Structure 1
Amino acid sequence: MPHADDVVPAPVTLDVDGRTVVLPDGARWAADPTLRPAARWWRRAAEDAFGVDLVPADRPDVADVTFALDPALGAGAYRLAVEDMAGRARVQVTAADLAGAHAAAQTLRQLAGPQGFRRAGAAELELPVVEVRDAPRFGWRGVLLDVARHFLPKADVLRFVDLAAAHHLNVLQLHLTDDQGWRMEVLRYPRLVEVGSWRRESGVGTWRAGRYDGRPHGGYYTQADLREIVAYARERGVTVVPEIGSPGHVQALLTAYPELAARPGAHEVRTTWGISEDVIDPSPAAVDFFRGVLDEVCDVFDSPFVALGGDEVPTTAWRERPDTVARAAASGLVGADGEGDVTRLHGWFLARLADHLRSRGRRAVVWDEAFGPDLPRDVVVTCWRGHAVAVDALAAGHDVVMAPEQEVYLDHRAADGPDEPVPVGFVRTVDDVRAFEPLPAALLAARPELARDLPGTLLGAQAQLWSEHLDSGRRLDYAAFPRLAAFAEAVWNPGASGFGERLPGHLARLDAAGVEYRPLEGPRPWQRRPGVEGYPRDLAAERAAAGWAGMGGWVEGRDGAEPDA
C-alpha cells in the first residue's frame, strides 16, 4: 500500500487528497538531460521492486513520468505531483538541479510504501495522489562511516550509501585511516596496505578493561573498489569525502613506514582504542609523503573536499626532540618565551597539505582541534568537541560543519538501560537526535561580542558512526537506525512535526530493506553484548563542567596517552 503520511524526512509541504492511483507496466518516462541520472535510478529501483517495465518516451508531453528542470526553485529544491488521469498515474517532478531530482526520486520511492525498498517483487506500483513542495535546510547533510577501526566489506559500504541516500543525506565521509588500520590502496606506498591494513587482535569493549579477542582483523579497498563506491554514490546523489588522517591517529601508517615517526623504532598497528602518542614527525619528508598519498586520493575521489583529520594530536613526542623544537623555531613558530612552539607544528603541517589540495582544485576539511592561526581560511572546520569552537571558526572566516559528540555521535548508547550493547558515551535517544539544532540560539546569545553576520558559513551538519564497537554491518544498523533517520529530518526540515507518529511506518520500509535497526522498545536478545564493558559518560555533568566547549579530545596538560574521552 502507498504511504503519504509517513515520509522521512518530511517534505516542507505535502498535500494529500486520499485517493491512490496505479502506474502500470509499460508506463513511459522522460527526463531533462541534467536530471536523467536521478530519473534513471528511480526507474531501476521501481522496476526491481514492482516487477514492471518502464519505457522511455519520445517526448515529455506523452510521458507518464517526467523529470523537468527549473533552476528558479532554488538549490536542492523540487516539486512532485502525482495526479489521477482517468485511473492512470501521471507523475511530474520539477527540480532545481540534479540534487533536487535525487531527493524527489527518493520521496517518490517512499510514497510507494515498503515494497519500494525491496529488490525484487511483483506488485502494483500504487501511489497516493499528492502534491509536494520541498527544499533542504542545509547543503551539507552528512554521515561519517568509520571503516578504519573495523573494516566494512565493499558490499556493506554500498548498502550504507543506499540507506544514506534514502534519507536525503548527501555526504558520506569515509574514514579510511587510523591507528588501527589503513584501508586505501596507495600504489606508490604499497606497505600501507601490506602492513598497515591488519592488526593481530582487537580490543573488546572499552580499552580500560584490557580485554582482547585474540583474532587478527584486517581488510582494505583497492582503488578500483573505491572508484566503484564513488560512482555508486554519485548515481544516488551522495558525495564521498575521503578522510586520510594526520598528524595523529597514524600508528598503522608508522608501522609500515617507521622512518616518518616522531619517535624512532618499530611500531605495531594499534590493537586497542583511545589516543596514541605515536604521531608523524612534521618534517619536509613527511609533507612530501602525504602529498604523494593525496595525489592518489584526488585521482580516485571526485569530491571537492578531502578530509585531513587533525584531531587528537598529542605533542609529547615533538617536545622530546630538540630537532623538532628547532624546526618549529626555524619556521617562525615561536611561543611567548621565544623558543620553538611545537604545538603550532600541528597547524603548520596541515596547512602544507591544504595548500597541496588547493593546487589540485580541492578544499581541505579538518576536525576542530586543527583550527588556529596557522590554518588557511579556505579550510572547512568540522566541529565535534562541542559548539563553542564553531562560532570562533565562523568568526575567523572558516566554513563550518557541525558534528558535536554531545548530540550526533550515533555510536554512543541509545538508552541508559543495562541491555545496550557496549554502552559507551552519552545517551542519545531518537527524540534527542531529532531535536538536534546545529547552532542553538542560546549559544549565540552567550557570545554577544560576536557580529550576528559572521564571515564564515555554516555548511550543515554531520552524524558520526565510529566503529570501535561497531564490528559488523549488523552492529552498524543497530547504532545508526532509526536515529540516523531522525538526524536526516533535523538537517532537512526541522520544522516538521509528528516524527514519532510517522516513524513506525518508516520502520516498515527499513524492515523491507533488511535493516536490523534498534527497536524503539529496546534491543532484541541477539543485539545485546552481555559482559562486554563500555564506558558510559554523563552528559549533564560534562555540560555543567565544560559548557558549550565540551570535554572531548586530547588536552595538553590534562591527558596522557589514553584520556577518558
Structure 2
Amino acid sequence: MQILSKLHLLGCSLAGLLMTACSNQPTAVANYEVVPMPLEISATQPSSFLLKNGVTVYYTAGNEKMKRNAEFLASYIKTQTGIELKVQEGEGGKGGILLQLGLANENPEAYQLKVDAGQVVIKAPSEAGVFYGIQTLRKAVDVSEGANIELPAVEINDQPRFGYRGMMLDVGRHFFSIDEIKTYIDMMALHNINRFHWHLSEDQGWRIEIKKYPKLTEIGSQRKETVIGHNSGKYDGKPYGGFYTQEQAKEIVAYAAERYITVIPEIDLPGHMQAALASYPELGCTGGPYEVWTQWGVSDNVLCAGNDQTIQFIKDVLAEIVEIFPSEYIHVGGDECPKDKWKTCPKCQARIKALGLKSDAKHTKEERLQSYVIHEAEAFLNSKGRKMIGWDETLEGGLAPNATVMSWQGEAGGIEAAKQHHDVIMTPNTYLYFDYYQSKDTETEPIAIGGYLPMARVYSYEPMPKGLTPEEQKHIVGVQANLWTEYMPEFKQVQYMVLPRMAALCESQWCAPEKKNYDTFLQRVSRLVDIYAKNGWNYATHIFDVMLDLTPNTETGTLDVTARTIDNAPVYYTLDGSEPTASSEKYTDVIKIDKPCTLRTVAIRPSGSSKITKDEISFSKSSMKPITMLQPINKQYEFTGATVLVDGMTGNRNYKTGRWIAFYTNDMEAVIDLKEPTEISSMTLHTCVEKGDWIFDTRGITVAVSDDNKTFKEVASESYPAMKESDPNQVYTHELKFDPVKTRYVKVKALSEQKIPSWHGGKGQPGFLFVDEIILN
C-alpha cells in the first residue's frame, strides 16, 4: 500500500488555501495523515471530492445510531469549517457522503474510507466503526474556516490494535461538573478512545449516590477543607464537595454510549474508604470517629474485613452500581490498602483464623484477607453477569478467579497476571500517569504530584511486554492512561495535563507498532491542536518548545548542544542569561560550551514565541571528563547513563527528569579520568531524597585517587547516620575537603541505604540512592 504523501496533497499545508478554477471560494486540501495514524492509506486516482455547503450525508434507513453518526459528522464539519452539510436517510447517489454498514472485517471497530470525484463512502462492520471513520475524516479536514475542502481521492483501511482503549479520571480528590465530564468524553472521542474509567470513591470524597446508604453523599461527599500543596500541614479552610445523582450518572452513561464509549465505574475497596467510614464508622476496625480526609496520600483507615456488615455493604453498593452502569466491567480498586489496622483488629484476626489463612514466603495472612474481600466482591459481580477489574495489588494473596488486572506499578503485575492467564489492561505509571509533570522546568508548571512524563516518553510506550508467549500475549487486551487529580482543582488544568499527551496514548492504543514514528507524529499533532483550540480546550504547548540535546563531549571537553523544533521554526539563544529575542544569536549548528554559562533558547514563529528554555551550566575539573561506573546503575532510572554525573548540570527536586541516576541494592562507584595529572582538594556530590518513594540519602562517601587506574589511595571519607522521619525531602549537597593532591584518576563511592529504618513503611528493605553532579576542584 502506498502512503499518501504531502506531495500528493498538492504540497499544500493543511492551513494553506488554494483558489479553485471553478469558484472564487478558497479551498483547503485535506490531509489523511491524522492521529491516530491509519493502518493503510492508498492514493487511488488524481481526482478529488469537493466538500462544500449543501453536500448531503446519507445514513442507513431506520438506524438511529447511523443517523446520530451523520449528525456528528455534520456538526464536526460545521464547527471546523463553517460548511453546512445536509443529513438524509437512504443510500444516496453521487455527490454525497455515504455512511454504510456491511464491511467484511472481524474487528467491529474497523472501517474503510473511500473518496473519489463522485462521492465519499465510510463503511464498517458496525456503527462504532463508522464513527471512527468519521473521526478520521474530521481530523483530515481540520480547521479551515471560510473554505471549501478538497478531499483527494483515497482508500483508507483501518482498525484498532486493542479493543480496550481507556482513559481514567479521578473525581474523588476534585469534583467536576456534568458538563465538564461530557467535555472529557468529547476529548476521548476525538482520540478514538472507547472506555471511560470513572474513579468515583476516595478517602477525600465519595462521589456517587447510593440510595441504601444516603450518608455516603450526605457526609462522605464533603470535606471540611483541603491541604495546601504537597501535604504542607497548612489548609485552605474552605469546605469542598460534590456528588453525582444516579440520574446524572445515567446521563453520562448515555452521552458516552452515543460516542461508542463505555463508562466503567470504580468503587475502590477495601482501602481508600475513609469518606465511606466517615459516613458509616461501624464499617471500620476502630469504629471511628472518622472524617473525610483533608490531605493527600493513602489513609490507613480501611474497611474492616472481619465485619460481616462490611461484606454486605460492599454487595449493596455494587448492586446499585450495576443498575446505573451497564458496562461489562466493574472496577473494585484493590490498591494501596494498608494492613496496619487489620493486624491489631480482633474481628479481622478472627476472620483470618476462621478462614484458615496463613502467611508464607509470598503473602502475609493479611494480604490473603484482602484477597478474601476481593473474591467476595468478584463473586457478587459474576452473579450479576459482570466482570471485575482490579489494580495489580489484587494479585497479592492470590487473584480472584475471573478478574482482569490493571497493571499500574510498572508492567510486572500485568506480566504476572498474563502468565496466570488473566486478562490485563496495561496502564503503567512509568509511561501513562498524566498527573506527572510534562516539563523538567517544574517551577514554571502548575503544581503536580511529581514525576516526569514528556510526550516523547508517552509515545515510546509499547504495551506488549517482551517475554510473553503468543498465548500469553492474547491476555493483553487493552491500554489506558490515568489522571489523578489531587493537584487539579479546575477542569482547565485537567485538560492541560491530558492534552496533547492523549494523542500519544491513542497511537499506542490504536496503531500497529510499525506505523508509529515520533517525528511524523509531532507533525500530525501540530495540526490536531487546531481542533483543540477550536473547541476551547486548554492544552499544553511543550511540543512547540525548543528541543535540546546537551551531550558531554569527552574528546573536546565541551558540552555540545543541538536544538530543533517540530516545524523547523528558527531558534535563537543567549549564553549570558539574558532573554533571547529575534535579535539574539541564531542557532545554525552545534553549540560547543566550554565555560560556565546560562543557556536560554526560544523558537520564534509568526504566531508568537515559544516558552524560553533555561539551563544553568557549570564547569569544574571533572566536567565533560570520561567516567566509568564500577557498579551498575538501576535500569529504571539510568536515563543517559554515567555522563549525567559530569555534564555540568545539577538536577532539581524532580528525580525523574533525567538529571539524576539511581542505584538500588548496590552502591554508586565511579572513576573519573581527568585525562592528565590535575591538582584537586575537594569533591562535591549531590543526592536527591524523597523518602515517601523509598529514596534516601547516602550512608557514606569515600574519595580515592590513582595515577594508573589500578592502585587507589583514599584521601577522604565521611559516614552519615540513617535518616530520621523528620529529615526533609530535598537535594542534599555533600562536600568532602582534603589536602591538595595531584592525580589523574579519581574514584568516588557513595553508599546506598541497604536497610530502610523501622519508622518507614518500607522498613528493612533497600532504599534507592539518586546521585547527580560530581564536582572536583
Partner deviation per Cα, 1:375-419 (whole Å, 9 max, x = no partner): 323111000011112111111121000111111101100011131
Task: Tell whether 2:24 aligns with 1:24.
Answer: no
Q: Counterpart of 1:454?
A: 472
Residue pairs, 1:65-76, within 5 angstroms: 65-70=97-102, 72-75=104-107, 76=109
Contact 2:281–2:289 under 8 Å retained in 1:
yes
Q: Counterpart of 1:118?
A: none
Q: Counterpart of 1:83?
A: 116
Partner deviation per Cα, 1:508-550 (whole Å, 9 max, x = no partner): 111111111111246999x9xxxxxx97343777975499xxx
Query: Are residues 114 and 211 of structure 1, via their aligned partners in 2, closer, same or farther at CA, if it must alter by over 3 Å?
Result: farther
Instruction: State the shift of 1:210 in Å.
Output: 2.3
Amino acid at match of 2:140: L
Point out the more displaced range, 292-301 or 49-58. Answer: 49-58
CA distance in 2, matches of 1:502, 1:167: 13
CA distance in 2, matches of 1:389, 1:436: 16
Amino acid at match of 2:134: A
Give the structure, 1 or 2, with the largest relative contact order (CA under 8 Å, sep 6 or more). Answer: 1
CA distance in 1, matches of 2:352, 2:474: 29
Consecutive unaligned residues in structure 1, runs of 5 or more: 116-120, 445-449, 528-533
Query: Are residues 398 and 212 of structure 1, via their aligned partners in 2, closer, same or farther at CA, if it must alter by over 3 Å?
Result: same
Amino acid at match of 2:537: V
Task: Tell whether 2:172 aligns with 1:154.
Answer: no
Partner deviation per Cα, 1:312-345 (whole Å, 9 max, x = no partner): 00000000113311211202322259x9922211
Task: Tell whether 2:520 aligns with 1:496.
Answer: no
Task: Tell whether 2:129 aligns with 1:100.
Answer: yes
Question: Which residue, out of 221, 244, 248, partners 2:267?
Answer: 244
Query: Are residues 275 and 383 of structure 1, via their aligned partners in 2, closer, same or farther at CA, if it must alter by over 3 Å?
Result: same
Residue pairs, 1:507-522, within 5 angstroms: 507-520=529-542, 521=544
Q: Counterpart of 1:371?
A: 395
Residue pairs, 1:144-543, within 5 angstroms: 144-207=168-231, 209-282=232-305, 283-336=307-360, 341-372=365-396, 374-417=398-441, 418-441=443-466, 444=467, 451=469, 453-454=471-472, 457-493=475-511, 494=513, 495-497=515-517, 498-520=520-542, 521=544, 536-538=654-656
Amino acid at match of 2:120: V
Instruction: State the shift of 1:245 in Å.
Output: 0.6
CA distance in 2, matches of 1:511, 1:546: 48
- Secondary structure of the 1:142 match is strand
CA distance in 1, matches of 2:447, 2:258: 35
Query: Are residues 217 and 536 of structure 1, via their aligned partners in 2, closer, same or farther at CA, if it must alter by over 3 Å?
Result: farther
Amino acid at match of 1:479: M
Instruction: State the shift of 1:454 in Å.
Output: 2.1
Instruction: State the shift of 1:69 in Å.
Output: 2.1
- Secondary structure of the 1:196 match is coil
Task: Tell whether 2:37 aligns with 1:10.
Answer: yes
CA distance in 2, matches of 1:40, 1:253: 43
Query: Are residues 81 and 286 of structure 1, via their aligned partners in 2, closer, same or farther at CA, if it must alter by over 3 Å?
Result: same
Instruction: State the shift of 1:230 in Å.
Output: 0.6
Q: Counterpart of 1:38?
A: 69
Point out the more displaced range, 267-276 or 10-19. Answer: 10-19
Amino acid at match of 2:131: H
- Secondary structure of the 1:425 match is coil
TM-score (norm 2): 0.64
Instruction: State the shift of 1:188 in Å.
Output: 1.2
CA distance in 2, matches of 1:483, 1:62: 40
Contact 2:171–2:207 under 8 Å retained in 1:
yes
Instruction: State the shift of 1:65 in Å.
Output: 2.0
Contact 1:348–1:375 under 8 Å retained in 2:
no
Identical-pair percentage: 31
Amino acid at match of 1:9: P
Contact 1:68–1:95 under 8 Å retained in 2:
yes
Query: Are residues 455 and 522 of structure 1, via their aligned partners in 2, closer, same or farther at CA, if it must alter by over 3 Å?
Result: closer
Query: Are residues 192 and 324 of structure 1, via their aligned partners in 2, closer, same or farther at CA, if it must alter by over 3 Å?
Result: same
Q: Which has the higher helix share?
A: 1
CA distance in 2, matches of 1:250, 1:560: 20
Q: Which has the higher strand share?
A: 2
Partner deviation per Cα, 1:419-448 (whole Å, 9 max, x = no partner): 12214332111111111112343xx2xxxx
CA distance in 2, matches of 1:438, 1:279: 33
CA distance in 1, matches of 2:359, 2:475: 31
Amino acid at match of 2:476: L
Which protein has the larger Cα radius of gyration, Structure 1 or Structure 2?
2
CA distance in 2, matches of 1:138, 1:556: 44
Contact 1:82–1:128 under 8 Å retained in 2:
yes
Residue pairs, 1:47-62, within 5 angstroms: 50=82, 52-60=84-92
Partner deviation per Cα, 1:173-230 (whole Å, 9 max, x = no partner): 00011001011011111111111111111122212x3232222211111111111111
Contact 2:30–2:150 under 8 Å retained in 1:
no
CA distance in 2, matches of 1:227, 1:366: 23
Partner deviation per Cα, 1:25-77 (whole Å, 9 max, x = no partner): 15141237386143443244445653525131443556822222235323121
Consecutive unaligned residues in structure 2, runs of 5 or more: 1-27, 547-607, 612-651, 667-691, 695-755, 769-777
Instruction: State the shift of 1:558 in Å.
Output: 8.4
Partner deviation per Cα, 1:84-135 (whole Å, 9 max, x = no partner): 22xxxx22011122332221121121122125xxxxx876465444321111
Contact 1:21–1:129 under 8 Å retained in 2:
no
- Secondary structure of the 1:157 match is helix
CA distance in 1, matches of 2:693, 2:389: 19
Contact 1:206–1:535 under 8 Å retained in 2:
no
Amino acid at match of 2:492: R
Contact 2:283–2:304 under 8 Å retained in 1:
yes
CA distance in 2, matches of 1:261, 1:18: 70
CA distance in 1, matches of 2:122, 2:325: 30
CA distance in 1, matches of 2:208, 2:123: 39
Query: Are residues 60 and 20 of structure 1, via their aligned partners in 2, closer, same or farther at CA, if it must alter by over 3 Å?
Result: closer
CA RMSD of aligned residues (A): 3.3
CA distance in 2, matches of 1:544, 1:6: 43
Amino acid at match of 1:80: L
Contact 1:5–1:502 under 8 Å retained in 2:
no
